[in-house]
Structure formats: C-alpha cells, structure tokens
Amino acid sequence: VVRGFSSSAVRNVVIKNVTIIGGGQMGAGIAQVAASTGHSVTLVDTSDDILKKSIKTIEGSLKRVVKKKFADKPEAGEEFIKKVVQNVSTSTDVESAVQSSDLVVEAIVENLKIKQDLFSRLDKLAPPHTIFASNTSSLSISDIASSTSRQDRFGGLHFFNPVPMMKLVEVIGTPATSQETLDSLLNFSKVLRKTPVSCKDTFGFVVNRLLVPCIMEAIRLYERGVYACYYNSDASKEDIDIAMKLGAGHPMGPLELADYIGLDIINSVIEGETKDPNNPLFNSSDLLNKLVAEGKLGRKTGEGFFKY
Ligand code: CAA
Ligand code: NAD
C-alpha cells in the first residue's frame, strides 16, 4: 500500500526555510520554484563559482517564466525576478546552512556513499524538527536514510528536469517515514504548485522505472543500427528522435532527452539495476559507457549524442 495524505486532518510541519544541497541543474531548479513560492532558500554547493553559475541559471529561467507571466507588465516581471532572487542565499558552509532549516532537499551527485556521508553529517547539525529529503533518481531512500537517526523524518522528493516546467513530484515514503512527514512533503509539493504522487521506495519509483528502459532501448537501437528506414541505411539518431516525437507525441526524442538529463545520471541509474541478470531492461550500453568516459555527458558539457 502506498500511503498518501492521511485521512485525518493533515498535520504539517510548516516549511518556511528550505536548504537545497547541490546547485546543479536540479538543485538550482528546486531552489527557483521554492523561492518563487515565498520560501526562504539557502542553496549550498562546494564552491562560490558553482553557486554563481546556479544563480545565473535561476535568473535565466526566471526571465523565460516572466516573459509569459508578465507579458504586458515587464516592470512587474523585473520586480518579481528581483524578489525571487532575494529569497535565495548561497553558502558553501553546510553547517550553518541547515541550522534554521525546516526542510533539507539533497540534489548532489547520484552516489549512495556520498549521499549517506552528507546526511550523516547533517543529522548532527540540523534541528530535531528538520525533515530530510533526497531528490535521487533511483537510489533507495531507505538506504540513504539509514545513515541518520531520523528515519521517521526522511523521505524522497523526486523532481523532474526542467524543474520550473515539469509539474510532477514523486513523494516517496519508506516504511519508517512518519505520516506527518509524508503529509508535510505532499503539502510542500502542492505549495510549490506541483502535482505530487505518492510512491513506494522501489527502484526508479514510477517515472524512471518506465522512462529509463525506453531511453536505453533507443540507445541500443541506435547502436545496433538495424532499424533502417531504407535498405542498407541505419536508423539515424535523428530518425529515432523524430519517430518518438511525431509517432508517440513525446516532447523530446529519447536520445535528445538522455542528453538533457545527463548521460552520467542515466548511467548511474542503470548501474543500480544492471547487476540483476533477470532484468535486461536496464542492461548497460558500450556506446553510453564510451560517451561518459569521454566526458560527453550531454547538454551540460556541450556534447553527448548531439552537439550543443
Ligand atoms: N525554465 C523556464 N522556462 C522554460 C525552461 C526552463 N528551464 N525550459 C523551457 N521553458 C519554457 C520556454 O521558455 C517555453 O516557453 P514559451 O512556451 O512561453 O515559449 C516553453 O518552456 C517551451 O520551451 P521550448 O519552446 O524551448 O521547447 P519545448 O517546447 O520542447 O519545451 C521542455 C521544453 C518543457 C523541456 C519539453 O521539451 C519537455 O517537456 N521535454 C521533456 C522533459 C522531460 O521528459 N523531463 C523529465 C526527464 S526525467 C527526470 O527528470 C527524472 C530523472 O530522475 C532523470
Ligand atoms: P548536477 O551534476 O547538475 O549537479 C550536482 C551538484 O551537486 C553539482 O553542482 C556539484 O558540485 C554538487 N555537489 C556534489 N557533491 C556535493 C556535496 N557533497 N555537497 C554540496 N554539493 C555537492 O546533477 P543533477 O542533474 O542536478 O542531479 C542531482 C541529483 O538529482 C542526482 O541525485 C540525480 O540523480 C537527481 N536527478 C537528476 C535529474 C536530471 O534530469 N538530471 C532529474 C531528477 C533527479
């Protein structure tokens, strides 16, 4: 049974101060939506240069948002951007960043040991009421939470890329997550004007359990080159993407989407499941491994399956 909102009156921890750890593509996006909805946000990363880039990303995205939202009132749009950016402070000092935090959302590298080390440190630094959440794509929330002594106040908040545009948040509860924590995370997602769905703590939750096999099959299809449109001509990368966009109504083709997500992230997701010989859906790909080894991680590095 997947738990959703409790049937009794919703008991919420009021979330005002949010600490986001990791200012990459996901962390910056989560910081933006939290700040846009009136939260006081502290964004943490390992260097000031990275954090400067995160703020630039947020400003760039906000410009796109206000172009639509304040089409007739450009000055109000500028004011909105100023206000949102003022709601975000940045820090490289995780200790002070969690001291008055109601919620910590972690969006760092997809590596269990590194996430566990971080949360084990935070557990000693954050106030008792602080809820911890991970934005992991596919790691077990229980495994990450096991590094802390607050497993009842630990859950998954899985956002989608690009966070300002994607409406879904998967809210993941483990058997140890309290109903109060789950209610708070579901409610927080709604306050961000997202649509939350409750998920069990199972591999890939819902979206990645279905989406990543599709992306991997597209990569293998391209690698095999056998699905030719014409005799003796391989299915090109573009053919595969056009086919899924026009034939299945996807906004991006699977290879373009892989580049958008990050090929390192896709590889980390499948690594969790490749060891299971009964689950070929998540088998690795030589081509994907080669691109990652060459540092061609997709859009964020300027090249992946395509050049940017
Ligand atoms: N910030 C703000 N606005 C943005 C934006 C951003 N980062 N990215 C796009 N937009 C806005 C644009 O400004 C544009 O606005 P207008 O309609 O006013 O012009 C609108 O979105 C459409 O953008 P584009 O015209 O540039 O391109 P598009 O129509 O292809 O839309 C997209 C862009 C929303 C990203 C769309 O291509 C899309 O939905 N792609 C699929 C994304 C997806 O599947 N994400 C999930 C990945 S899986 C994951 O995240 C989980 C995991 O664990 C790996
Ligand atoms: P990213 O590489 O863009 O950003 C990660 C950031 O974390 C970097 O800026 C890095 O400097 C920082 N970082 C690493 N270790 C840190 C530490 N110990 N303390 C502070 N900062 C640290 O990665 P991303 O795409 O934003 O992914 C982040 C997380 O979100 C991963 O767990 C990923 O699986 C998950 N996720 C990614 C996507 C996606 O489409 N890219 C979607 C949903 C979830």
Cβ atoms of 96 and 11 within 8 Å: the answer is no
In the chain (308 residues long), the average pLDDT of successive 10-residue segments reads: 57 86 98 98 98 98 94 93 98 95 97 97 96 96 98 98 98 97 97 97 94 95 70 72 96 98 94 73 92 97 96
Residue 20 neighbours by CB under 8 Å, 6+ apart:
27, 30, 31, 34, 41, 42, 43, 44, 104, 105, 107
Among 99, 78, 77, 74, which residue's Cα sits nearest to residue 89? 99
- CA of 211, closest atom in ligand 1: 48
pLDDT on residue 229: 52
pLDDT on residue 281: 86
Fold of 17-200: Rossmann fold (3.40.50)
Ligand 2 binding pocket, CB closer than 6 Å: 21-27, 44-46, 50, 107-110, 118, 135-137, 159, 161, 261-262, 265
0.95 surpassed by complex ipTM: yes
The rounded distance, in Å, linking the Cα atoms of 267 and 25 is 17
Exposed/middle/buried for 186, CB within 10 Å: 0-12, 13-18, 19+?
buried
Domain boundaries, the chain: 17-200, 208-299
**Top-level class of domain 208-299:** mainly alpha
Among 32, 31, 34, which residue's Cα sits nearest to residue 21? 31
Quick count: other Cβ atoms within 10 Å of Cβ 63? 12
Instruction: Annotate 4-20 with three-state secondary structure.
Output: CCCCCCCCCCCCCEEEE
Among 6, 42, 14, 28, which residue's Cα sits nearest to residue 173? 6
The rounded distance, in Å, linking the Cα atoms of 131 and 178 is 11
pLDDT on residue 274: 63
Q: Which ligand is nearest to the CA of 297?
A: 2
| Residue of minimum CA distance from atom 13 in ligand 1 | 64
- What is residue 90's three-state secondary structure? strand
User: What are the DSSP E strand ranges found in 6-125?
Assistant: 17-21, 40-44, 88-91, 103-106
Cβ atoms of 298 and 307 within 8 Å: the answer is no
- Quick check: CB of 68 below 6 Å from ligand 1? yes
